[in-house]
Amino acid sequence: GQNIDQPTEMTATEGAIVQINCTYQTSGFNGLFWYQQHAGEAPTFLSYNVLDGLEEKGRFSSFLSRSKGYSYLLLKELQMKDSASYLCAVRGYSTLTFGKGTMLLVSP
């Protein structure tokens, strides 16, 4: 089975850096995805990791350690519009399983 764990909520201030962690136990591993979801909207793709290490894309970076079953999403220079839910999702042998999401609130 699949088990994905991430914090329920986090708060940060505008301009700061925040790290959202995700741990997983899965049967089979074919990549880890991070999605951003604003309230009432569908998720949008942020990043994909399949090998260990850091993937950087602008203000967002994602890290993966397969041996530890661990990933994090790093958001730099936070903006108010970054307030959203961040979903960690793991692809096992075939399907994609989502974590419950981390609600990030960015305050001025």
Which of 11, 19, 30, 107 binds other proteins (CB under 8 A)? It is 30
Using CB under 8 A, which residues numbered 35 to 94 contact other proteins? 35, 40-45, 48, 50, 87, 91, 94
CA dist., res. 5 & res. 81, Å (int): 24
Give yes or no for residue 96 binding other proteins (CB under 8 A). Answer: yes
Tell me, what amino acid is at 92? G
Helices assigned H by DSSP within the chain: none
Least separation in angstroms between CB 56 and other proteins: 15
| Contacts of residue 51, Cβ cutoff 8 Å, sequence gap at least 6 | 64, 66
Site residues, other proteins (CB under 8 A): 30-31, 33, 35, 40-45, 48, 50, 87, 91, 94-101
